[in-house]
A = this chain, B = another copy of it.
Amino acid sequence: MSGEKNYGVPESVVKRLPRYYRFLRELLIEGKLRISSGELSEVMGVTASQIRQDLGYFGGFGQKGYGYNIKYLYTRISDILGVSAGYRAVVLGAGNLGRALASGAVFTQRGVELVGIFDASPEVIGTSVAGLIVMDVAELEEFLAACPVQIAVLTASREAAPGLVERLVSLGVRGIWNFTDRELSAADGRTTVHNICLGDSLMTLCYEIGQAEEEYHGKKTETELR
């Protein structure tokens, strides 16, 4: 699908596309029509040559002096990333994180339609989140039979997670966005599971704080020594 549309863009470049997508989106909202690799480099904090190299794969619209056609670039990148594929999603787990994701703009801004949110706890079932009524996860099969989705967002407990993945795979869900603190994979080898471990990012931050402090104090000593 999006693969046929990826114009042979290398994975390394594709990985950077969501960020281009975000910045181009901002520029469109600001009403900008064209941008030079130099300007874009300023905004994104990436070298202009990197930008020319990345966007070069789309060809044709980096005209010297004119810069890039933002709308065109945005549309092509949307195509490649599957924004125009019209995927639908359900959220499993209506706790704080599930509610945060459902209430935010993360789905709509990426062309994904959130069609249902589920939970197992009687206190939560029936409450409303982002205009949706939280359904009993026991009704998942029935719901997905009537309204198939490609994406499931997992914010359930680490205990419930593996069982849910099995059910989702058997229900034909193609992508699982897993926020439980347990790494999961799909047995069928067809379903993509994205394990989001926020803790890893916190640890990297702690590490970088340590590195930055050391560098800072290193610099300080150097200056003092002069």
**A interface list, Cβ under 8 A from B:** 1-4, 14-15, 17-19, 21-22, 45, 80-83, 85, 87, 95-97, 99-101, 103-107, 109-112, 150-151, 174-175, 177, 181, 183, 185, 190-192, 194, 196-216
Most chain B beta-carbon contacts within 10 A, residue among A4, A183, A199? A199
Q: Which residue of B lies closest to A111 (CB)?
A: B206
In the complex, are the beta carbons of B174 and A209 less than 8 A apart?
yes
In the complex, are the beta carbons of B80 and A175 less than 8 A apart?
no
What are 6 pairs between A and B in contact, CB < 8 Å? Answer: A4-B214, A85-B209, A95-B100, A110-B202, A112-B206, A175-B206
In the complex, are the beta carbons of B198 and A101 less than 8 A apart?
yes
In the complex, are the beta carbons of B3 and A110 less than 8 A apart?
no
Number of copies: 2
CB contact between A202 and one of B112, B210, B212 (< 8 Å): that residue: B112
In the complex, are the beta carbons of B190 and A205 less than 8 A apart?
no
In the complex, which residues of chain B have a beta carbon less than 8 angstroms from the beta carbon of A110?
199, 202-203, 206
In the complex, are the beta carbons of B87 and A206 less than 8 A apart?
yes
Known contacts A97-B96, A198-B196; is-contact A18 B203 (Cβ 8 Å): yes
In the complex, are the beta carbons of B206 and A151 less than 8 A apart?
yes
CB contact between A18 and one of B21, B22, B105, B197 (< 8 Å): that residue: B197
Q: How far is the CA of A2 from the CA of B102 in the complex (A)?
A: 37
CB contact between A177 and one of B1, B4, B191, B202 (< 8 Å): that residue: B202
In the complex, which residues of chain B have a beta carbon less than 8 angstroms from the beta carbon of A175?
205-206, 208-209
Q: How far is the CA of A160 from the CA of B225 in the complex (A)?
A: 41
In the complex, are the beta carbons of B209 and A87 less than 8 A apart?
yes
In the complex, are the beta carbons of B203 and A21 less than 8 A apart?
yes
Task: With A14-B204, A175-B208 given, name 18 new contacts (CB 8 A).
Answer: A1-B213, A3-B215, A4-B214, A17-B207, A19-B200, A83-B203, A96-B96, A96-B99, A96-B103, A97-B100, A104-B181, A107-B202, A110-B206, A174-B209, A175-B209, A192-B209, A194-B204, A194-B205
